[in-house]
Amino acid sequence: MPGRILIAATTLPILAFFAAFAVGADDKKPTSVLDFKVKDIDGAEVALSKYQGKVLLIVNTASQCGLTPQYKGLEELYKKYKDQGLEVLAFPANEFGKQEPGTNAEIKEFCTSKYNVTFPVFSKIVVKGQGIHPLYSFLTGEATDPSFAGPIGWNFAKFLVNRKGEVIARFDPKTTPESADVVKGVEKALAEK
Protein backbone atom coordinates (compact mmCIF):
# COMPACT_ATOMS: atom_id res chain seq x y z
CA MET A 1 0.00 0.00 0.00
CA PRO A 2 2.72 2.57 0.85
CA GLY A 3 4.38 1.87 -2.52
CA ARG A 4 1.17 2.76 -4.36
CA ILE A 5 0.84 6.05 -2.48
CA LEU A 6 4.44 6.96 -3.36
CA ILE A 7 3.86 6.28 -7.06
CA ALA A 8 0.66 8.33 -7.04
CA ALA A 9 2.38 11.17 -5.20
CA THR A 10 5.25 11.32 -7.71
CA THR A 11 3.13 10.99 -10.86
CA LEU A 12 0.59 13.68 -9.97
CA PRO A 13 3.06 16.59 -10.32
CA ILE A 14 4.30 15.17 -13.62
CA LEU A 15 0.75 14.83 -14.96
CA ALA A 16 -0.07 18.34 -13.76
CA PHE A 17 3.00 19.68 -15.59
CA PHE A 18 1.99 18.03 -18.88
CA ALA A 19 -1.64 19.13 -18.47
CA ALA A 20 -0.53 22.72 -17.94
CA PHE A 21 1.77 22.50 -20.95
CA ALA A 22 -1.04 21.14 -23.15
CA VAL A 23 -3.40 23.92 -22.05
CA GLY A 24 -0.70 26.53 -22.67
CA ALA A 25 -0.07 25.18 -26.16
CA ASP A 26 -3.75 25.63 -27.09
CA ASP A 27 -3.69 29.17 -25.69
CA LYS A 28 -0.88 30.09 -28.11
CA LYS A 29 -2.80 29.14 -31.26
CA PRO A 30 -2.85 32.20 -33.55
CA THR A 31 -6.21 33.85 -34.03
CA SER A 32 -4.98 36.89 -35.94
CA VAL A 33 -2.25 37.94 -38.36
CA LEU A 34 -1.01 40.10 -35.48
CA ASP A 35 -0.06 36.96 -33.49
CA PHE A 36 2.92 36.15 -35.75
CA LYS A 37 6.59 37.05 -35.67
CA VAL A 38 8.61 37.34 -38.87
CA LYS A 39 12.08 38.51 -39.83
CA ASP A 40 12.63 41.75 -41.68
CA ILE A 41 14.87 41.87 -44.76
CA ASP A 42 17.90 42.44 -42.49
CA GLY A 43 17.09 39.41 -40.33
CA ALA A 44 15.71 41.21 -37.26
CA GLU A 45 12.63 39.67 -35.65
CA VAL A 46 9.45 41.71 -36.01
CA ALA A 47 6.24 41.05 -34.10
CA LEU A 48 3.34 41.80 -36.45
CA SER A 49 1.49 43.05 -33.37
CA LYS A 50 3.38 46.31 -34.01
CA TYR A 51 0.82 46.85 -36.80
CA GLN A 52 -2.14 46.72 -34.40
CA GLY A 53 -4.70 49.27 -35.60
CA LYS A 54 -3.32 49.36 -39.16
CA VAL A 55 -4.79 47.97 -42.37
CA LEU A 56 -2.37 45.52 -43.99
CA LEU A 57 -1.90 44.41 -47.56
CA ILE A 58 0.27 41.28 -47.36
CA VAL A 59 1.88 40.29 -50.66
CA ASN A 60 4.24 37.47 -51.68
CA THR A 61 6.71 39.05 -54.09
CA ALA A 62 9.42 38.07 -56.58
CA SER A 63 12.08 40.05 -58.45
CA GLN A 64 12.15 38.11 -61.73
CA CYS A 65 8.46 37.68 -62.49
CA GLY A 66 6.27 39.14 -65.20
CA LEU A 67 4.25 40.64 -62.34
CA THR A 68 7.29 42.26 -60.65
CA PRO A 69 6.29 45.74 -61.94
CA GLN A 70 3.47 45.54 -59.37
CA TYR A 71 6.10 46.80 -56.90
CA LYS A 72 5.49 50.23 -58.47
CA GLY A 73 1.73 50.02 -57.88
CA LEU A 74 2.25 48.73 -54.33
CA GLU A 75 4.53 51.68 -53.58
CA GLU A 76 2.01 54.17 -55.02
CA LEU A 77 -0.81 52.60 -53.00
CA TYR A 78 1.34 52.69 -49.87
CA LYS A 79 2.30 56.35 -50.35
CA LYS A 80 -1.31 57.36 -51.02
CA TYR A 81 -2.80 55.64 -47.95
CA LYS A 82 -0.02 55.21 -45.38
CA ASP A 83 -1.00 58.36 -43.48
CA GLN A 84 -4.50 56.88 -43.11
CA GLY A 85 -3.10 53.66 -41.65
CA LEU A 86 -2.19 51.36 -44.57
CA GLU A 87 0.90 49.16 -44.40
CA VAL A 88 2.05 47.07 -47.35
CA LEU A 89 4.04 44.04 -46.16
CA ALA A 90 6.10 42.27 -48.83
CA PHE A 91 7.25 38.68 -48.37
CA PRO A 92 9.69 37.57 -51.09
CA ALA A 93 9.24 33.90 -52.02
CA ASN A 94 10.88 31.56 -54.52
CA GLU A 95 8.17 28.90 -54.96
CA PHE A 96 6.89 29.98 -58.36
CA GLY A 97 9.24 29.47 -61.29
CA LYS A 98 12.20 30.14 -58.98
CA GLN A 99 11.67 33.84 -59.71
CA GLU A 100 13.14 35.06 -56.41
CA PRO A 101 16.56 33.37 -56.33
CA GLY A 102 18.43 36.23 -54.67
CA THR A 103 19.63 36.66 -51.11
CA ASN A 104 17.85 39.02 -48.74
CA ALA A 105 20.57 41.64 -49.38
CA GLU A 106 20.08 41.32 -53.16
CA ILE A 107 16.30 41.55 -52.79
CA LYS A 108 16.61 44.67 -50.63
CA GLU A 109 18.95 46.30 -53.15
CA PHE A 110 16.61 45.42 -56.04
CA CYS A 111 13.50 46.78 -54.31
CA THR A 112 15.10 50.07 -53.32
CA SER A 113 17.14 50.76 -56.47
CA LYS A 114 14.66 49.56 -59.13
CA TYR A 115 11.31 50.48 -57.52
CA ASN A 116 12.19 52.91 -54.69
CA VAL A 117 10.23 50.72 -52.26
CA THR A 118 9.67 52.35 -48.86
CA PHE A 119 7.13 49.87 -47.43
CA PRO A 120 8.41 46.98 -45.27
CA VAL A 121 10.04 44.08 -47.11
CA PHE A 122 10.68 40.96 -45.04
CA SER A 123 13.13 38.07 -45.30
CA LYS A 124 12.46 35.51 -48.00
CA ILE A 125 10.03 32.82 -46.82
CA VAL A 126 8.14 29.78 -48.12
CA VAL A 127 4.51 30.63 -48.93
CA LYS A 128 3.31 27.29 -50.33
CA GLY A 129 3.98 23.60 -49.83
CA GLN A 130 6.60 21.95 -47.67
CA GLY A 131 8.16 24.34 -45.18
CA ILE A 132 5.37 26.92 -45.53
CA HIS A 133 5.83 29.77 -43.08
CA PRO A 134 3.23 29.74 -40.25
CA LEU A 135 1.95 33.17 -41.34
CA TYR A 136 1.10 31.86 -44.81
CA SER A 137 -0.26 28.65 -43.38
CA PHE A 138 -2.62 30.87 -41.36
CA LEU A 139 -3.50 33.16 -44.30
CA THR A 140 -4.35 30.27 -46.61
CA GLY A 141 -5.83 27.95 -43.99
CA GLU A 142 -9.42 26.72 -44.11
CA ALA A 143 -9.80 27.36 -40.36
CA THR A 144 -8.88 31.05 -40.73
CA ASP A 145 -11.59 31.82 -43.29
CA PRO A 146 -12.85 29.30 -45.87
CA SER A 147 -13.66 32.06 -48.36
CA PHE A 148 -9.96 33.05 -48.60
CA ALA A 149 -8.45 29.58 -48.11
CA GLY A 150 -6.34 27.60 -50.54
CA PRO A 151 -2.75 27.58 -51.65
CA ILE A 152 -1.11 30.62 -53.19
CA GLY A 153 -1.27 30.34 -56.99
CA TRP A 154 1.62 32.60 -58.01
CA ASN A 155 3.72 35.61 -57.05
CA PHE A 156 1.90 38.77 -55.95
CA ALA A 157 -1.15 37.19 -54.32
CA LYS A 158 -2.57 39.80 -51.95
CA PHE A 159 -4.31 39.46 -48.60
CA LEU A 160 -6.14 42.45 -47.13
CA VAL A 161 -6.19 42.49 -43.34
CA ASN A 162 -8.34 44.83 -41.24
CA ARG A 163 -7.24 46.85 -38.20
CA LYS A 164 -8.01 43.89 -35.91
CA GLY A 165 -5.71 41.54 -37.81
CA GLU A 166 -8.52 39.65 -39.58
CA VAL A 167 -8.21 38.61 -43.24
CA ILE A 168 -11.05 40.38 -45.06
CA ALA A 169 -10.12 39.92 -48.74
CA ARG A 170 -7.82 37.99 -51.04
CA PHE A 171 -6.81 39.22 -54.48
CA ASP A 172 -5.49 37.16 -57.37
CA PRO A 173 -1.84 37.76 -58.38
CA LYS A 174 -2.90 39.43 -61.65
CA THR A 175 -5.15 41.88 -59.80
CA THR A 176 -2.95 44.96 -59.70
CA PRO A 177 -2.57 47.18 -56.63
CA GLU A 178 -4.18 50.07 -58.51
CA SER A 179 -7.21 48.02 -59.57
CA ALA A 180 -10.63 49.23 -58.47
CA ASP A 181 -11.15 46.09 -56.35
CA VAL A 182 -7.97 46.57 -54.33
CA VAL A 183 -8.41 50.33 -53.91
CA LYS A 184 -12.06 49.95 -52.89
CA GLY A 185 -11.13 47.20 -50.40
CA VAL A 186 -8.33 49.28 -48.88
CA GLU A 187 -10.50 52.40 -48.61
CA LYS A 188 -13.35 50.47 -47.00
CA ALA A 189 -10.97 48.86 -44.46
CA LEU A 190 -9.37 52.23 -43.67
CA ALA A 191 -12.81 53.80 -43.10
CA GLU A 192 -13.54 51.29 -40.33
CA LYS A 193 -12.06 52.53 -37.08
What is the set of active-site residues? 65
List all residues 6 or more positions away from 133 whose beta carbon is below 8 Å from its beta carbon.
38, 91, 125, 126, 127
The C-alpha atoms of residue 20 and residue 14 are separated, in whole angstroms, by 10
Closest CA to 179 of 35, 76, 48: 76
Q: Where are the beta strands (DSSP E) in the chain?
A: 37-39, 45-47, 55-61, 86-92, 158-161, 167-171
